[in-house]
Amino acid sequence: MSESFELDPVDWITAGAVGQPGSREFYVQAQKDEGTVALLVEKQQVRQLAQVAQELLERVDVTVTPDHLDTRSQQLREPIAPAWRAGRLALGMDEDGTRFLLEAEELVEDDEAEPATAKLWMSGEQLTAMAAHAAWSVEAGARETCKLCNRPIDPQGHLCPAMNGHGPLVESSL
């Protein structure tokens, strides 16, 4: 069984990615005292985390802007050793809107296994910084798309179905 965590509050938290576009890995990483916790997540989870964070912050009259982005202080810290892969993320806030909670639940293959959990408590300032960096991280790795077929162009090249007949232009639903 994997280890569960509760950091109340975190000293630092971020969501970001490592690797080259098309083969990046995404993480949520938090630190309290000398301990660091990293959770492996999906790109879509980071995108939704940034979106929900911005929605929660708007409820307390905070608008996340590009001015909040600090790539130096928010970048993932080495070594990145994920405790486990997150299957579910949830973000909420207390009644006053001063403390925010990111809850993660481990993705487990066995239905009978008890998933590990993480509870990461943070301030509004920490959530704002994490939201700005998470949104930037998702967009920073966006690959250029082909003007003919709208598929991403990989660094090693692109076989465009519109130019040479490789692959269908659209997904078949049959």
Of the listed ranges 39-48, 107-116, 161-170, the one predicted with least confidence:
161-170
Q: Are residues 80 and 162 in the same domain?
A: no
Q: What is the CA radius of gyration of the chain?
A: 18
Order of all β-strands in the sheet with 12-18? 5-7, 117-123, 99-106, 84-93, 35-41, 25-32, 12-18
| pLDDT score for 54 | 97
Amino acid found at 112 = E
Q: Are residues 83 and 23 in the same domain?
A: yes
| pLDDT score for 165 | 54
The helix/strand/coil state of 44 is helix
Q: Are residues 132 and 151 in the same domain?
A: no
Q: Are residues 53 and 138 in the same domain?
A: yes
Q: Are residues 136 and 149 in the same domain?
A: no
Total domains, the chain? 2
Q: Are residues 90 and 167 in the same domain?
A: no
Q: Between these two residues, 5 and 161, which has the higher pLDDT value?
A: 5
CB atoms within 10 A of CB 78: 8
Domain that holds residue 39: 5-142
Q: Are residues 56 and 114 in the same domain?
A: yes
Mean pLDDT of 145-159: 73
Q: What is the pLDDT of residues 53-74, one digit of tens each?
A: 999 999 999 999 999 999 999 9
Q: Are residues 121 and 173 in the same domain?
A: no
Beta bridge partners of 157: 154
Q: How confident is the model at residue 169 (pLDDT cuts 50, 70, 90)?
A: low
